[in-house]
Amino acid sequence: MSVPMQRNRLDLRLLPAALAGWAAALVAVHSSGSVSLHLGGALVAASLGCASAALLGRRKCPAHAHGERWVMRDRGGTVLLHLALSVGVAAAVTLSAAQTQHTHEESGWSEAVESPTPISVTFRVTRDASPVQQRSGDGYRSDAAVLSFGENDQPVRAHAVVFTDTELRAGHRYTSKMLLSATDSAERSTAVMRPWGTEEPVRQQPDRVTGVAETFTDLRQATVEHSSSAVGEAPALLPGVILGDRSGQSQELTEAMRVAGLTHMTVVSGTHCALVMGALLGLGRILRIPRWTTLPLLLTGLALFVMLVQPAPSVIRAAVMGSIGALAVFAGRGRASSSLLCLCVILLLVYDPWFGVAAAFQLSVAATAGIVLIGARLKGLFAQRMPRFMAAALALAVSAQLFVTPVLLPIAEGVTLYSIPANIVAGPLLPLVTVPGTLAAVLSTTLPELSAVLLWLAGLPGAGIAEVGYAAAAMPHALAPWPAGHTGWVAAGIYTAAALVVCRMLIEARGRPRGWERAVLSSAVGVLTAVVIPLASLQGVLFGSALPEQWRLALCDVGQGDMLVVRTGEYAGIVVDAGEEPDMAAACLTKLRINEVEILMITHDHLDHYGGTAGVAQAAGIGEILYSGAAGWSVTEAVEELGGTALDAPEARGRVGQTLTHEGDYPVSWQVWSAADYHSNTNDNSLVVHFELWAAETPAGAVGSAIDPLRLLTLGDLEQEVAGMLLARDALPSAVDILKVSHHGAANGGTAVLEHSDPAVALIGVGEENSYGHPSGAVVAALDELGTATYRTDEHGTVVFSLTEEALKPVPLE
C-alpha cells in the first residue's frame, strides 16, 4: 500500500532578502569604495522609505487593531515591509563592502598595491603555507592579513597572498620589504606579495594570537605525522578529510576524487561541521547534560573545530552552513531549515560580501538548498522501495547533486556521471573518518599513542573512500562532455528549469506534472537523448578523452611535423604551423572545435610546417597569415602550388618586436623575437614567438594569472648556431613555462636554449618511428636532466593543456 504524499509548506519569507543581499554583493565587490558607499546610502534611504510607508498605512487603520497588535490594511503593506527588509539587507551588504574598500583607500593600501616601488609590510600568516612551483623553483604560497605597511600607522585589515622560498608558519607575524601586485577587485585577496631581493620575511616576536595558533598548529602537524602509518591511500587522504590539508595527496588521487565527484570530502565542508556537531550532540545525550547547555556546547565545539582546521573564509562559510541542520534539530522544527538557510546566506554576505562571487559558496548554498527543499521528500519516496538507511543516503546525494549541477556546468570540464553512486557508497564512510579522526587530532599531542591507533582505524574507511574515487574515475566516460557554446547554455537552462519543476512537484506533494511542466520535462529528456548522451557515447570515438572546457593550448598530432593551437575564444585560436598533411591539420581543428583561426603563423618554408595549410582553411576561416622564411617566399603562393587551394586571407612577414594582445574569455598576448630571411639554412629564418596566456579565474600570483601569465616559446626549426647568437645578444626570453622544442627535437637544435629557458613542459611534434631519428637522445636526456615534463606526439598523440588553480594540466586526447 503506497503512502500518500503529504504537503509540507516551507517558510521562504527570507528568500527575497537573501537574493537581494546576494545581488548587492555582486555589484559592490566590483565597484569602488565611493560607489559602494553612495549605493549603500541610497539603499538605506529606500529601505526606510518602504518601512515608513508600510507603518503609516498601518496607523491609518486603528479599527483593524486586535488588542495591542496592529494589522496591515491590505497586502500592500505586507509587501512594503518585505521590500523594506530586502532593500535593508542589500544596504547592509553594500555598506559592509564599502567599509572594507574605504579602509583600504584611506590607509593608502589601494595606492600602494599599484605602485612598482617595494615597500615594507608587516603581516600575519593566517593559514599553513602550501607548496607551489615558482619560476625560481619550489616555493610556498601563504594567505596573510596585512597589519601595517611603510610608515603608515592606520589599520589596513587587508587580505593578501604571499609567495616565498621558505615556509612561513601560521599565526606568526612577519616583516619584509615586498614587491606588491594588485589583484582583481572581485578577489578577496587585495594583493600578491613577493619579497624584494634575496631576503626572506623576518619573523616578529610572538604575541597572544601566535601562542593560540601554535597550539593548533602542533595538533595539525602531529595528526599528519600519526596518519603516516595508515593503510593504502589513507596517509594522504586523512589530513584532507580531517583537516582540509590536501598537500600530501598525489596528483592522481586528487584527479580521481575530482572526476568521481568526491572532492568535497577532502576539504572542510558543511558536512564535516555537521558531523562534528552531531557527535557532540550525541555525547551530550549520553552524558545527560541539561538541554539548555546543548546549544553552547555545540557552538563551542564548532568554534574549536574551526580553529583546528584554521579559520579561513571557506571554513567559516562551511561552519555556518553546517550549523543550519544542528540549529534546526535543536529548535525541533525541520520547517525552520529553509529560513535558517536564508538567514545564513544573509549573515555571511554581510560579514564578507566577497563570498557572493566565490564558486565554493555558490555550490555550498545550492547543495544545502537541495537537501532542505527536497531531501526529506525524496527520502520518503525512496523509502517505499528500499531500506531507510539506503533511502537516506540516496536522497542526500540526489537532492544535493540536482541543485549543484546548474552551478557546476559553467565552470566544470564536463558532467561527473558517477557522482551520485560514488557518494552513496563513500558517504557512509565519511563519518567513520571524520568523527574518530577529529578526536585523534585533539589527542595527538597529549596522548599520541591513542591518537595513532584512532587514525589507523579511521584510515580503513579512509582508504575505502580513495578506492571508491579511483573506481568511479576509471569507469567509462566518468567525466562526460557537456555541449559547448550556446548549445551548452541552452541545455543548462533546460536542465535548471526541469530541476525546478521536480522541486515544485516534490514540495507540493504532487505525483504528476501539469501541462506546462510536462513540456519542460519533455524538453529536458529530449536534450538528454539528442545531445548529451550521443556526445558522451561518441566521446571516445571523436575526441578520445573529454576535451576540457577551459583548455588553452594544444599540441596537434600531425605526424612528422609541427602544429600548435593557442586558444583565443570559444571556437577561435592562433595556429602555429600546420604540419604536412591537410587532412591531419583539419582533423585536429575539428577535434578542438575551432572554426576560426584569427592568425595562422607559419614559421618557415618547409613542407612539414606549411603543407597542411589547406586543411586549416578547410576546417576554419583564416583571419590573417603571419610568416617567416627565405626572402621572396610566400605562404599563399606555396599552398597554391601544392594543390591549387587559394587562400583569401591577407599575409605579412613577421617583424622582430611585433606584438598583439587578444582580449576576451581566453586572453593571449604574443611578441615576435626572431624573424629573418637572409640565412642560407632556412631553418634559421624561423619565426620565433613568445606567448603569454592567463585566465581571470586563476588565483592571483599563481602561474596563469594576469599577474604571472603562462609563458610559451615556439622556436620553429631554429638550429643551434643561430640560437647561440641570439642567446649571446640576450634576444631570447629566459622565463618560459612551455617550450616548443626546435626542429622536432633534432640534435642540430642543440641544448643551449633548453638550459637557458629551463621549461616546466616541453612539446615535440614528431612522427612515430620516423626515419630522421627524431627526437635526439641528447635532447631527451637534457630535458630529463632539467626535470622537464616532455610531451611527444609519437607517444601521446594530440595533447591539450588547461590552466587550473593548482597547475598546468595536460590531457591527451587520443
| Cα 320 from Cα 353, distance rounded (Å) | 15
Task: Tell me whether residue 5 is in a domain.
Answer: no
Task: With a cut of 70, say whether residue 350 has pLDDT above it.
Answer: yes
The answer to the question of residue 512 being in a domain is yes
Domain boundary among 175, 205, 235: 205
C-alpha–C-alpha distance, residues 814 and 798, integer Å: 6
* 580 pLDDT tier (thresholds 50, 70, 90): very high
Rounded alpha-carbon distances, angstroms, from residue 731 to 136, 656, 675, 741, 753? 21, 10, 12, 17, 11
Residue 536 has a pLDDT of 47
Predicted confidence band of residue 276 (pLDDT cuts 50, 70, 90): confident
Residue 606 lies in a domain: yes
Residue 739: what pLDDT? 94
Share of the chain above pLDDT 90, in %: 27
What backbone phi and psi angles, to 5 degrees, belong to 447?
Answer: -130, 70
Residues 421 and 530 in one domain: no
Same domain, 299 and 421: yes
Query: What is the pLDDT averaged over residues 128-148?
Result: 77
pLDDT 10s digits, 451-484:
999 999 999 999 999 999 899 888 876 776 665 5
Q: Going edge to edge, which strands form the sheet with 688-693? A: 659-662, 668-674, 688-693, 710-714, 738-740, 761-764, 789-792
Query: What CA–CA distance (Å, rounded) separates 93 from 37?
Result: 11
Specify the pLDDT at position 523: 56
pLDDT band of 137, cuts 50, 70, 90: low
CATH at residue 616: 3.60.15.10
Residue that wins the pLDDT comparison between 376 and 164? 164
Indicate if the pLDDT at residue 95 is higher than 60.
yes
Q: What are the pLDDT digits (tens) for 410-432?
A: 666 566 777 878 888 888 888 89
Which pLDDT tens digit goes with each residue over 500-554? 666 666 656 555 656 555 555 555 555 454 445 444 444 444 444 567 778 899 9
Same structural domain, 153 and 222: no
Three-state SS at 456? helix
Q: Are 123 and 101 within one domain?
A: no
Q: What is the pLDDT of residue 500?
A: 64
pLDDT at position 629, please? 92
Please report the pLDDT score of residue 623 as a whole number: 92
CA 666 – CA 669 distance, rounded (Å): 10
Closest-CA residue to 732 (of 785, 671, 676)? 671
DSSP state at residue 716: T
Q: What is the bridge-based pairing of β-strands 130-134 and 651-653? A: unpaired
Instruction: Let me know if residue 653 belongs to a domain.
Output: yes
Inside any domain, residue 8: no
Q: What is the pLDDT of residue 422?
A: 86
Are residues 242 and 95 both part of a single domain?
Answer: no
Whether residues 99 and 131 fall in one domain: no
The rounded mean pLDDT for the chain is 81
| Residues 563 and 435 reside in one and the same domain | no
- The arithmetic mean of pLDDT across residues 603-612, rounded, is 93
Confidence label for 628 from pLDDT (cuts 50, 70 and 90): very high
Q: Is residue 423 part of a domain?
A: yes
Is the distance from CB of 663 to CB of 637 less than 8 angstroms? no
138: domain CATH number is 2.40.50.140
DSSP assigned state of 373:
I
Model confidence band, residue 61 (pLDDT cutoffs 50, 70, 90): very low
Task: Write out the DSSP string of 463-495.
Answer: HHHHHHHHHHHTSTTSEE----HHHHHHHHHHH
The whole domain housing 196 covers: 109-205
Measured at the CA of 553, the angle between CA 408 and CA 710, to 5 degrees, comes to: 90
Give 286-300 pLDDT, tens digit per residue. 888 887 887 788 888
Question: What was the pLDDT predicted at 705?
Answer: 72
The answer to whether residue 584 scores a pLDDT higher than 90 is yes
pLDDT at 670 over 90: yes
Answer yes or no: is 728 within a domain.
yes
**pLDDT for the residue numbered 332:** 47
Average pLDDT over residues 154-171: 86
SS3 category, 631 = coil
In what helix (H) or strand (E) does residue 506 lie, and over which residues does it extend? helix 485-507
d(C-alpha 741, C-alpha 714), whole Å: 7
pLDDT at 542: 41
Give the end of a domain, one of 172, 205, 238. 205
Does 485 have pLDDT greater than 60? no
Q: Domain boundary residue among 464, 480, 496?
A: 480
417 belongs to a structural domain:
yes
Please name which of 159, 594, 208 lies closest in space to residue 358, comparing C-alpha atoms: 159
What is the CA angle 593-575-768, rounded to 5? 85
pLDDT of residue 506: 60
User: Does the pLDDT of residue 686 top 90, yes or no?
Assistant: yes
Confidence check: pLDDT of 690 > 90:
yes
Residues 245 and 187 in one domain: no
The DSSP result for 556-621, as a single string, is ---SSS--EEEE-SSSEEEEE---S-HHHHHHHHHHTT--EEEEEEE-SS-HHHHTTHHHHHHHSE
193 & 310 share domain:
no
Res. 60 pLDDT band, cuts 50 70 90: very low
Q: Which three cell numbers stand for residue 792?
A: 611527444
Q: What is the mean pLDDT of residues 599-623?
A: 93
Do residue 512 and residue 597 come from a single domain?
no
- Range with the lowest mean pLDDT among 132-141, 184-193, 538-547, 623-632? 538-547
In this prediction, residue 614 carries a pLDDT of 92
Q: Tell how far CA 128 is from the center of its chain.
A: 20
When pLDDT is cut at 50, 70 and 90, the band that residue 796 belongs to is confident
557-571 mean pLDDT = 92
Task: Assign 190 a pLDDT band (cuts: 50, 70, 90).
Answer: confident
Residues 664, 560 share a domain: yes
pLDDT at 371: 77
pLDDT for 64 equals 46
Least confident of 10-24, 27-41, 265-279, 671-685: 265-279
Do 211 and 124 meet the contact criterion of CB atoms below 8 Å apart? no
Question: What sign for the dihedral angle of Cα 9, 15, 16, 19?
Answer: negative
User: What is the three-state SS of 42-78?
Assistant: HHHHHHHHHHHHHHHHHHCCHHHCECCECCCCCHHHH
Q: Which of the 8 DSSP states describes residue 698?
A: S
List, edge to edge, every strand of the sheet that includes 564-567: 651-653, 621-627, 596-602, 572-576, 564-567, 551-555, 799-803, 808-812
Check residue 15 and give its pLDDT. 87
Determine the pLDDT at residue 503: 63
Confidence bin at 758 (pLDDT 50/70/90): confident
pLDDT of residue 540: 44
- Domains contained in the chain, number: 5
- Encode pLDDT of 317-338 as tens digits: 778 776 665 555 455 455 557 7
The residue behind cell 604536412 is: 580
Contacts 24+ apart (CB under 8 A), 332-339: 334/376, 335/8, 335/9, 335/10, 335/11, 336/11, 337/372, 338/10, 338/11, 338/12, 338/15, 338/372, 338/373, 339/11, 339/12, 339/13, 339/14
Alpha helices in 594-729 (DSSP H): 607-610, 613-619, 635-643, 720-728
Same domain, 526 and 431: no
Q: Choose among 677, 668, 231: nearest CA to 465.
A: 231
Q: Is the dihedral of CA 77, 78, 79, 81 positive or negative?
A: positive
Q: What single-letter amino acid sits at 573?
A: G
Q: What pLDDT does 762 receive?
A: 92
* The pLDDT of residue 182: 79
Taking residues 569-582, report their average pLDDT: 92
Average pLDDT over residues 187-200: 84
* Tens-place pLDDT, residues 215-251: 998 999 999 999 988 998 999 999 989 988 888 888 7
Neighbour count for residue 631 (Cβ, 10 Å): 10
Mean pLDDT of 636-663: 88
pLDDT confidence bin for 622, thresholds 50/70/90: very high
Residue % of the chain over a pLDDT of 70: 81
Instruction: Quickly count: other Cβ atoms within 10 Å of residue 6's Cβ.
Output: 8
Judging by DSSP bridges, how do beta strands 710-714 and 688-693 pair with one another?
antiparallel
